[in-house]
Structure 1
Amino acid sequence: MMALLHVEGLVVGYGQFPVLHGVDFTVQEGEVCVLLGLNGAGKTTTVSTIAGLLRPQSGRVHFAGRDLGHKSPSARVSAGISLCPEGRRVFPGLTVRQNLKLGAWTRRKSSAVVRDQMSLVLDYFPRLSERSGQLAGTLSGGEQQMLAVGRALMSRPKLLLIDEASLGLSPTVARVVWEVTSRIKADGTTVLMVEQNAGALPFADRALIMEKGTLVYTGVGDEVQQVNLREAYLGA
């Protein structure tokens, strides 16, 4: 496997308040990586910087062997990076299908790609297929999360960033979303998930644990399943 994403020395802050303090990590092509940490650890800042929503004070983000530099968020979507943001942020007055089509904006000139991605998303989340004509604002929280992930997939990304997919969801619904990441990976998309919930670990090939803007643990393969991760870093 090659490194699809390489984050090097990332320092990011809001005004005079530093949040990330020289973060370094790699995500290999074809894996699911989980970035774990408590609220305020800097996880959302990390994926927002990768997506181009924040500018680093120093450090670099390399994607598919290229330094992203100051590329805009839209340019990063076109390059193959898609973000499913925290809080879902669906368009409540639009239908499920309309929300999904908006996610394919960078692919709008290729009706075949849009059609194929729509079919794939509805296969991942059959509930969305049942509710394709329903207004997004009338969906349950779990259904809105499925829609948010599906919308992010509509641009056919190489790297899917998912920020706090399990937030506010029942354990059963959260598990449904996590299980889909295995299928997304099998279909060729690399996944980086931000989570507070250590229940995501069984679905990960790589785990990163963040505390106060610094990575304190990196594990791969069988190391990811270590029981003491929850107690040592996330609380029992």
Structure 2
Amino acid sequence: MTLLKIESLVVGYDAFPVLHGVDFEVQEGEVCVLLGLNGAGKTTTVSTIAGLLRPRSGRVLFDGKDLGRKSPSARVSAGISLCPEGRRVFPRLTVRQNLRLGAWTRRRDSKTVKRQLDLAYDYFPRLAEREEQLAGTLSGGEQQMLAVGRALMSRPRLLLIDEASLGLSPTVAKTVWEVTSRIKADGTTVLMVEQNAGALPFADRALIMEKGTLVYTGVGDELRQVNLREAYLGA
């Protein structure tokens, strides 16, 4: 079943076009990776899906419904959550406070908030160990774990993760990617934006973007048979 469908998406900043008629689908229950170099349009794509940018033309359909001009908060309520590039944790709040802010749209449902909090700690045990620590004192890897955990607190059907590996060691980046497999197994579809082709072993589907257009779409074993790094991302 198609959970997310992008149709002829054209997006830009003022007079500067970034996306030039992008089309793709993400199926429910999969991990999809959107790969590309800096400036390819990846962050613009997920920002538009999350409602932070409005398209000049084209549509974003979620579960068959056109999101149109829905606000970012309405999209969170509908089941879309964004873990932004650069983590953007609240440095003067504790780990627990950061996580609870991610559950703002469900704040009246104490059982769901508790369940999602336990789930975040289960995915990332280090967050449980640092529950009362200020987020600004965490390492870069721990802050990325916190950003992913916070995005999961709204219990999304679709989780958007923008550049999770940026600035992280290969070991920590792999830890974050491995968690996406568990997130998928627990019923959340994942769309990851990455420059790092190391995310491919954890993906069911890969999309490669160059200069605001998609140049490759592959699924399953195709991702292992084609050297996407050399073909599209540079050796």
Same fold (TM over 0.5): yes
How far apart are residue 226 of structure 1 and its match?
3.0
**1 CA distance for matches of 2:10 and 2:191?**
19
Normalised to the residue count of structure 2, the TM-score between the two structures is 0.99
The 5 Å alignment of 1:1-236 reads 2-236=1-235
Alpha-carbon shift at residue 227 of structure 1 (Å): 4.1
CA distance in 2, matches of 1:163, 1:12: 18
- The SS at the match of 1:24 is strand
In the alignment, the residues of structure 2 paired with residue 135 and residue 225 of structure 1 have an alpha-carbon distance, to the nearest angstrom, of 41
In structure 2, the gaps of 5 or more residues are none
Deviations 1:91-140 (A, max 9, x none): 00000000000000000010000000000000000000000000000000
Match of 1:13, SS?
A: strand
| 1:31-66 CA distance string (max 9 Å, x none) | 000000000000000000000000000000000110
1:143-202 C-alpha deviation (Å, 9 max, x unpaired): 000000000000000000000000000000000000000000000000000000000000
Q: Secondary structure at the match of 1:225?
A: helix
- Identity, % of aligned positions: 86
Q: Between Structure 1 and Structure 2, how many residues are aligned?
A: 235
Distance across 2 between alignment mates of 1:177 and 1:86? 14
The AA in structure 1 aligned to 2:95 is V
Structure-1 separation of matches of 2:147 and 2:121? 12
Q: Distance in 2 between matches of 1:84 and 1:35?
A: 14
Q: CA deviation at 1:230?
A: 0.4
TM-score (norm: length of structure 1):
0.99
SS of 1:231's partner is helix
Which whole-Å CA distance do the structure 1 matches of 2:107 and 2:43 have between them? 28
